[in-house]
Structure 1
Amino acid sequence: MVSQMLLKRRAAAFGAAAVLVLTPVVAGCSDDNGSSNQVTPTTSPAMTDQPMDPGAAKAQITKNWTAFFDPKTPTAERIKLLENGESMAPVLGAFAGDKNASQTSVKVKEIDFTSPTNANVTYDLLVAGNTALPDAKGTSVFQNDTWKVSVQTLCGLVQVSGATVPGC
């Protein structure tokens, strides 16, 4: 009985991931690393693996990830919260009308900086408020003065769903 419930929860997680990322316009999912568009935040003279104000950066990452995965966030706002969001606009627009996506959200659990402009993010993927994919791993990038969900994270959800999408 417990294993059947676990299988159902996993299936729901994979389904939610698929709903979030699988659309007819997913071809825009490639990650060109966006390095030419990245703005490096000011750091102290000695390079560190953190931004100058790690507390403020963590707060912004948490806020932006929560908003990005919140089904009530308008597509125009999500574009601003995703790395290379303008090129991903068709994919994000497709999410807006999906009823299953309206039940999916995230809870950011941990943030570890790997550089002043990159962070590893551990989060739970929630479906209808229940944890469907615990301790998922993603990344956040600092681009255009904003901490954003990385395209790598979005494409990672595609992989979790078992789908093969060109560019991911």
Structure 2
Amino acid sequence: MVLGSDLKRRNGGRGLVVGVLLLASALTACSDDSGGGDATPPTPSVETSTSAEPSPTAPDDPAAAEQEIKRNWVKFFDPAVPVAEKRAVLENGDRMGQVLDGFSGDERGGQVEAKVSKVEFTSPTGANVTYTLTLKGATVMPDAAGTAVEQDDVWKVSVKTLCGLVGLSGNASPGPGC
């Protein structure tokens, strides 16, 4: 006999009793009261709704929101659009003046345009945006990733996206808000 083996056997029996009790209580909690004796646990089902309720990961009208996102991204990156109008389609645009002025005032920023190719909603007020940036008509960032947010009932380019682009420009201090 190995020292302590008798002790292990006794604890193992107690562990087995506790395990059986836990299993029995779990099976009782999961069983149905129909008395059918079916040993297979019920399969969880996904509730489906036939009503026109919006998805929790999309806005009420995803098609309209997608069109607005595309329109506002084009506006934000259009060099002909005044900075004041760009603020209106930038998240926290009223507080991002210094960063936006720097971005729009940069020679390259004044030559950049964007075209959105994909919008994927992540919430009723958020979306991932895939877009292409061009500089003087030449593609410089194909399939770039950004985000859009709904703020004050307007779909806007996120601060995160603008700050990421400013960071790519090599500006070590993009300004307050980034």
- TM-score, structure 1 as length reference: 0.67
Q: For residues 142-161 of structure 1, what are the structure 2 equivalents within 5 Å?
A: 142-161=150-169
8 Å CA contact retained: 1:68, 1:78: yes
Code of the aligned partner of 1:122? T
Structure 1 CA distance, aligned partners of 2:105 and 2:172? Answer: 22
8 Å CA contact retained: 1:74, 1:96: no
TM-superposed CA distance for 1:84, in Å, is: 0.2
Q: What percentage of aligned pairs have identical amino acids?
A: 51
Residue from 131, 137, 148 that aligns with 1:129: 137
RCO (CA 8 Å, sep 6+): is it higher in 1 or 2? 1
User: What RMSD in Å do the two structures reach over aligned CA positions?
Assistant: 1.9
Task: Give the secondary-structure state (helix, strand or coil) at the position aligned to 2:67.
Answer: helix
Structure 2 CA distance, aligned partners of 1:46 and 1:64? Answer: 23
Residue from 115, 122, 129 that aligns with 2:123: 115
Q: 1:131 to 1:84 in 2, by over 3 A?
A: same
8 Å CA contact retained: 1:50, 1:114: yes
TM-superposed CA distance for 1:96, in Å, is: 4.5
8 Å CA contact retained: 1:125, 1:134: yes
Structure 2 CA distance, aligned partners of 1:97 and 1:66? Answer: 17
Unpaired runs of at least 5, structure 1: 1-43
| Deviation readout 1:35-89 (Å, 9 max, x if unpaired) | xxxxxxxxx7565200111100000000000000001111110110000000012
Structure 2 CA distance, aligned partners of 1:51 and 1:97? Answer: 34
TM-superposed CA distance for 1:161, in Å, is: 3.1
Task: Give the secondary-structure state (helix, strand or coil) at the position aligned to 2:75.
Answer: helix
Code of the aligned partner of 2:155? W
8 Å CA contact retained: 2:103, 2:166: no
Task: Give the secondary-structure state (helix, strand or coil) at the position aligned to 1:65.
Answer: helix
Code of the aligned partner of 2:76? F
Structure 2 CA distance, aligned partners of 1:98 and 1:46? Answer: 41
1:67 has 2:82 as partner: no
TM-superposed CA distance for 1:103, in Å, is: 1.4
**Residue 81 (structure 1) aligns with:** 89
Q: For residues 6-25 of structure 1, what are the structure 2 equivalents within 5 Å?
A: none
Structure 2 CA distance, aligned partners of 1:102 and 1:161? Answer: 13
Q: 1:97 to 1:156 in 2, by over 3 A?
A: closer
TM-superposed CA distance for 1:138, in Å, is: 0.3
Code of the aligned partner of 2:138? N
